[in-house]
Structure 1
């Protein structure tokens, strides 16, 4: 009892002191708590928001727009501005391209001398843009008023009002919508638009949505001349379009944007002029492709990889690359090529711009990829031709249509475009698609038995 009587008063004093500290914190405690709150708030406000791809849709042309190689050659043979030598050149390119007879062109190309005025160009834009947006809105079930930003990219057709305004008018989007029109960037523009959407989402409220529409209206860009470097667009370009919905909300998202990097080499004159819109000696407007194009594309891709390799490659590959790089610098007499990292350790799937078999083969060899890795690109070009900026989305749809996309898989998109630009983006699959009614719905049985190694180079 004596011990208890002695201890209890001490315990009471300690409890009283502790209660006083809790109820009446000292100024230093208040300062520490305030600093913690400010630091946590600043961290949450300043850290980059994760961007997600809610879903995407690709344009599915109607069968009456089909343009066989025989039809193309017949029209070329009857053309008043093409001689026999140029016609034979076109036939050779078509044969070596390995394009199927299931590619599609706008109605203006159905004439022996294709004609595309302003009304025809607008009709072509509506023919592509509206159905692909309809498909996307059906997939995502998003309310039109939830779209806060609209970004469109179309290089060669820039009407007044713009294509973005055309979309706003059709879907009655809200009047405080932010709209951006990208032009002149050619085949790299789709990933440029995705990068812009990602940047805008960083300063928008959490859960905002951005609609990105990528297309190319090829009717107005038809070249009515005989300059061979300017005829390739007529031969290879086909109808295409893709719509994407991006958000900072993970709810219902199908992919997460891992990174996106743009490399612009326009400071170099050869790069700047390798894809160049100009008039020929007879005043015919067209897109000229330089002989330096492949070398320029290779240099741009190398620069892009140097900037992004550390973001995506595993440590083992980075160490191997560093070892070879340092060794070559120190042992300059050592005749050995640069080490090519194994990118299949970083990505399961590859979507390379389907500019043509030669472009795909060049990237395949440069990155040491297998035939299976480039199959989506080869098959997209074979089935649909050069679809410009939208091609990477048709390739993604091909992978999903074959049931190859799994949760957690990583996808590497590589786009090339005028300027010269190389854009790359990494995506991580969150939810594989259950939609079987995409652009490949009617072709999978045929393509499941095809080998991409049969593709020829142009």
Structure 2
């Protein structure tokens, strides 16, 4: 009888604690009501022919540089329909103007926000918190001020402009919103994640800096979040947990992704071979904190006991994996280290193929692919893995609060994915550049021969 009484007392205490915790957290939850990814215009597409023209008109390159670019483009995992900035397509990359960058930003901002406000039936004047993250552009007035002015938002809107945060900035922005939700009740927040490509095209010949031209493309996403329980039924996702890891004290990790100028003064973004190593180290540190929060206790125990030669089974607590589409090597490395199969990696690979590396906005194209494929069901958990300069690894887990199958940025192309053939046609059309017979020809002569100049 005493044992029964003790067990009942323990049960009562546990239930009371859970209820009290629930009451305390009420109003501090973070729900996502909707999101909208940017779809560029047809005239912005960087297909094979357009990429070849841009490469060929760079008079600083030697034949060996063309060969390097060919190999990189062929192996990039990008397809024929990614989007580039208007000034680059028009051949003005050597002398970018501030107006080019601002025009690019406004296209992403207003296209995504107009659709987001229209679909959610939320007025811009209802927004309490606005966070914009663009790493490579800091304007005055700020980018948040431009949005506030454009939509006539309230004078007491809390505005935050994040710069220099890299490809994982979207999760950083959401974490900022989540922290604000803890002290401000019944809030509506908008997060806008994109990157400035127009003013950051590299025109030199340092190979570690040429890589960014091959993989980064125009894109972005706007998200609407709330902690207002009255809007809970509108939500599509609920944030379960988030862990941010900063590996900047490690010199190799710090230097592997950096905005710099080369010896000739050409500005650009340097990506070194140490990037994948830094990503693996940061991801490992992050998961030591994150996984105990989301995986069942028995899986943690199993892994601890059988650690030698085994991998932890993430699928015991996670149904979907939203990996930052930073590049083919990054996706491969993350997939291999986590024991994921091709089904798990498909959304990231397809987002990279269709839209390229859109920096902080990339995660949401991956999520959009899952939704378009009708993979996301109520109760499913999604692990978002984001990696960025600094070096940072910012990961979070969402719970799907209702079946997700609304039309999105993939609606006109999802039936073609995954494509039967992933090979980039650049190799088929321009493989001649690898021939030794052209090694003595100057780049401008190659351009004339091929009709690029």
TM value normalised by structure 1? 0.85
Corresponding position: 1:302 with 2:273: no
Check whether the contact 1:56–1:245 (CA below 8 A) recurs between aligned residues.
Answer: yes
Check whether the contact 2:45–2:83 (CA below 8 A) recurs between aligned residues.
Answer: yes
Distance 2:123 2:46 in 1: 37
Which structure 2 residues correspond to residues 10-29 of structure 1 after superposition, within 5 A?
Answer: none
- Counterpart of 2:146 (choices 157, 166, 169) is 166
Match of 1:134 in 2: 114
Check whether the contact 1:376–1:398 (CA below 8 A) recurs between aligned residues.
Answer: yes
| Bigger Cα Rg | 1
Check whether the contact 1:188–1:417 (CA below 8 A) recurs between aligned residues.
Answer: yes
Deviations 1:63-118 (A, max 9, x none): 11111122212221221111111111111111111311111111011133524201
Corresponding position: 1:340 with 2:307: no
- Counterpart of 2:221 (choices 226, 231, 242) is 242
- Counterpart of 2:261 (choices 263, 268, 279) is 279
Check whether the contact 2:170–2:193 (CA below 8 A) recurs between aligned residues.
Answer: yes
- How big is the shift at 1:299? 0.3
Which structure 2 residues correspond to residues 215-254 of structure 1 after superposition, within 5 A?
Answer: 215-249=194-228, 250-254=232-236
Match of 1:18 in 2: none
- How big is the shift at 1:450? 4.1
- Counterpart of 1:440 (choices 397, 404, 410) is 410
- How big is the shift at 1:44? 4.1
Structure 1 unaligned regions, length at least 5? 1-39, 326-335
Query: CA, structure 1 residues 76+403, in 2 after alignment: closer, same or farther (shift >3 Å)?
Result: same
Distance 1:224 1:66 in 2: 20
Distance 1:44 1:317 in 2: 29
Which structure 2 residues correspond to residues 424-439 of structure 1 after superposition, within 5 A?
Answer: 424-436=395-407, 438-439=408-409
Corresponding position: 1:357 with 2:339: no
Corresponding position: 1:407 with 2:386: no
Query: CA, structure 1 residues 138+450, in 2 after alignment: closer, same or farther (shift >3 Å)?
Result: farther
Greater mean deviation of Cα atoms: 377-386 or 65-74: 65-74
Match of 2:101 in 1: 121
Greater mean deviation of Cα atoms: 378-387 or 441-450: 441-450
How many residue pairs get matched?
403
Deviations 1:107-146 (A, max 9, x none): 0111335242011111111111110011111121112222
Runs of 4+ in structure 1 off by over 3 angstroms are 40-48, 448-452
- Counterpart of 1:290 (choices 263, 272, 286) is 272
- How big is the shift at 1:57? 0.6
CA RMSD in angstroms, aligned pairs only? 1.9
- Counterpart of 1:315 (choices 290, 294, 297) is 297
Check whether the contact 2:27–2:181 (CA below 8 A) recurs between aligned residues.
Answer: no
TM value normalised by structure 2? 0.85
Distance 1:195 1:125 in 2: 23
Check whether the contact 1:73–1:91 (CA below 8 A) recurs between aligned residues.
Answer: no
Structure 2 unaligned regions, length at least 5? 1-18, 425-453
Corresponding position: 1:56 with 2:35: yes
- Which structure would you say has the larger RCO, counting Cα contacts within 8 Å and 6 or more residues apart? 2
Which structure 2 residues correspond to residues 85-164 of structure 1 after superposition, within 5 A?
Answer: 85-114=64-93, 115-164=95-144
Q: Secondary structure of the residue that 1:361 maps to in structure 2?
A: helix
Distance 2:354 2:214 in 1: 14
Distance 2:246 2:209 in 1: 23
Corresponding position: 1:377 with 2:348: yes
